[in-house]
Structure 1
Amino acid sequence: MYSIAIDGPAGAGKSTIAKTIAKKLEFIYVDTGAMYRAMALYFIRHQIDPSDENAINQACPDIHVSIAYENGIQQVLLNGENVNGQIRTEEVGNMASKTSAYKMVRATLLDLQRNLAKTSNILMDGRDIGTNVLPNADLKIYLTASSKVRAKRRYDELVEKGVKADFDQIEQDIIVRDHQDMEREIAPLKKAEDAVLVDSSDMTIEEVVNTVIDAFEKVK
């Protein structure tokens, strides 16, 4: 079994790149960020304050997040409900960034993520895959881009969906989320020592995909 870990900050294009590469290599794609977002959605629905760690911890045993695949596309199930269409809002993303810092939240998902890697060739993306979830991955990529580039991508995505967006606010949210992800005590976002750094600021999706596949060909 082969495993590829792609880490990086919010908006770096991890999901887009990972999905494309997984399809080319015929790997199973696991979007760990979506799993944390599913938990965040539960907290929002139950009006749990993200700063109340005790309340978060008490809720975790009631949350079951699982992964299913329909026509090769990952579906995220929250207590049996497909929540793919509800977890991509800014509100859910911000809640996920805050609550994923808690040990109990991460422990709830860690075993599921590791077990997935034992059953198939997988490509997993997130914040701490190469450093914590799959420290023995065959290839580790740290994918990043400037905050302005990441904000522009998110802005364009929202505008295309017909959602009113404020570029400056989006960039500020990204900067805050970076700080939260990098400074958290449990499994902070950082580049693994043996990860390949890929800065996609001035690269096309195709260029990034080819860079990662070339790196994989060298290690497999």
Structure 2
Amino acid sequence: MIVAIDGPAGSGKSTTAHAIAKRCNLKFLDTGAMYRSVTYKCLADGIDVNDEEAVSKVAEAARIDFGRSAEGQTVLIDGQEVTHQIRTPEVDRNVSVVAAYPRVRHAMVERQRELGYTGDVVAEGRDIGTVVFPNAEVKVFLTADAAARAHRRAVQREGGDAGQDASAKADAAEEQQILRDLVRRDKLDSSRKESPLKPAADAHLIDNSGLAPDEVVQKIVDLMDEARSKSQAPVPAEPEAPAAAKAQEAAPAKKPAPKGATGEKNKPGKMRAFAGNTFDDYYDHGMREFPLPARALYAVAAAIVTFVTKVLWPWKIEDARKLWDDDRGRVVVMNHTSMLDPVIVICSLYYHGKRVRAIAKSEFYTNTFVSWVFSRAGTIPIKRGTADLKAVRRAQAALKRGEVVLIFPEGTRIKSDDQPVTIHGGFSLMAQMAKAPVQPMAIVGARDITPRGTHWKRFGRVFCKAGDCIEFSDLGVKGRKQQAQRMEEVAMERVYALRDELRQEHPNKK
């Protein structure tokens, strides 16, 4: 579950998020601390916060992490612990300027998503529910009048806690200065062009001016319980049709009215032939919903490509029934050796009634013609090295529709056994979010098509092998993060085990 808490400065977001994280065993993602860390680094390095280019470069290069200590959560930027340094008046006065820069926000949002989509989290900030996690299960917008917020912040700087001690006092002059800073910051945050401070349309508004921290926490915990119950609620059975309706259904059907006579509009979002469908339309719709010309083109291309590749590089899938006979949406993971790899899976499954959405790196889509071809082929672009939420959601939707999502976790074609390999584990998150299994598969012989150091193609047989699907329930671990990590390990272990079996069966094939 993701809990998004937004609100203006001093509204108690951090206190509330900390308490929820502790009470509900969630990871606490302090997004405000990330912007403060960039601000602090700029100030410490003598960089003018009004120099957008210089500040943006700092944000894009910075590595921000969260740690633990006896005192609680710590914040680090480029390995330096800055937990206390980022809470000074100087940082307070400059953080809104830094946070308003588009490139800074983009860099921070990417890092926040990367940190957030590894398990259950509670995140607080100013655009969590609107930008960072727009699909969060629980969204809250905390607010309080400016005077109450200024008092809390002033007491906090003197080491107190106004939430726990209503009688806590602070220096009056300091409190007035904080009030002026808060009012100025509220104006900056709510009027900036990039991700302005505003509640999400589906956020729950909580004014905590007169509420104790425990009361605010309980309200949010109640919202979390409500969200869980909704997600687990069974779909109600369709009610029995009244007798009159049954009689009407039994009567001869009337002739449909001429097209356009009823004034009914087409189904929202429906794709139509030659109607200017965008690339996003193809990424977001099921492949069976593609317009007829696109489906016809796909069928012709599949026939041609299957014939040509079968002639030039005769390929065979061992234990293919494991791949063909399962009608569930699932993630297929595979070692990657050549451009033939996805062709075999896509064409083979196509002729057994399955549609495959291959995940491809976004670098392929810089050319309009390639984007046109890839979109009609059903691929989904993903930005490598980032937590690409849009790609994850598209894959999740495809899996729930019963489509197969094909991913090469190695990220690039591996041309030799001594080539370093980095496994990209996003596939387990996609499967986990869609409650889908992961199926390992391996290929040998395709690497020989284009030997290392040459572009000339060689002919030869290619062999694949499909493994059994892996269910999250069979992994023997609990917790979303632990299950995702275990799935990555088990799935790739089985991919390489299948590859080794093929190499034993077919010596000299790589």
5 Å-filtered alignment, 1:1-220, equals: 2-70=1-69, 73-160=72-159, 166-220=174-228
Which structure is larger by alpha-carbon Rg, 1 or 2? 2
Specify whether residues 210 and 60 from structure 1 end up closer, same or farther in structure 2 by C-alpha distance, changes over 3 A only: closer
Aligned alpha-carbon RMSD (Å): 1.8
- Supply the AA of the counterpart residue of 2:7: G
Displacement after TM superposition at 1:94 (Å): 2.1
Distance 2:191 2:17 in 1: 25
Identical amino acids, percent of aligned pairs: 39
Q: How far is 1:115 from its partner?
A: 1.8
Give distance in 1, aligned partners of 2:114 and 2:61: 20
Quote how far apart the aligned CAs of 1:129 are. Answer: 0.2
1:167-208 deviation digits (Å, cap 9, x = unpaired): 221111000010111111111110000000000001111111
Q: Identify the residue that residue 396 of structure 2 maps to in structure 1.
A: none
Counterpart of 1:109 in structure 2: which amino acid?
M
1: CA distance, partners of 2:152 / 2:182: 12
Q: Identify unmatched segments of 5+ residues in structure 2.
A: 161-169, 229-510
Alpha-carbon deviation of 1:91?
Answer: 0.9
Q: Kindly state the Cα deviation for residue 120 of structure 1 after the two structures are TM-superposed.
A: 1.1
Distance in 2 between residues matched to 1:189 and 1:83, nearest whole Å: 25
For 1:189 and 1:24, the matched residues in 2 are separated by 27
Distance 1:72 1:131 in 2: 31
Q: Tell me how far apart the structure 1 counterparts of residues 136 and 110 of structure 2 sit (CA, whole Å).
A: 16
TM-score w.r.t. the length of structure 2 is 0.41
Query: Structure 1 length normalisation: TM-score?
Result: 0.93
Q: CA deviation at 1:156?
A: 1.7
- Partners of 2:113 and 2:209 lie apart in 1 by 30
Per residue, is there more helix in 1 or in 2? 1
Counterpart CA distance in 2 for 1:61 and 1:98 is 16
Point out which structure has higher relative CO (alpha carbons under 8 A, 6+ apart).
1
Report if aligned partners of 2:29, 2:116 keep a CA contact under 8 Å in 1: no
Partners of 2:159 and 2:99 lie apart in 1 by 29
What is the DSSP-based 3-state SS (H/G/I as helix, E as strand, rest coil) of the residue aligned with 2:198? coil
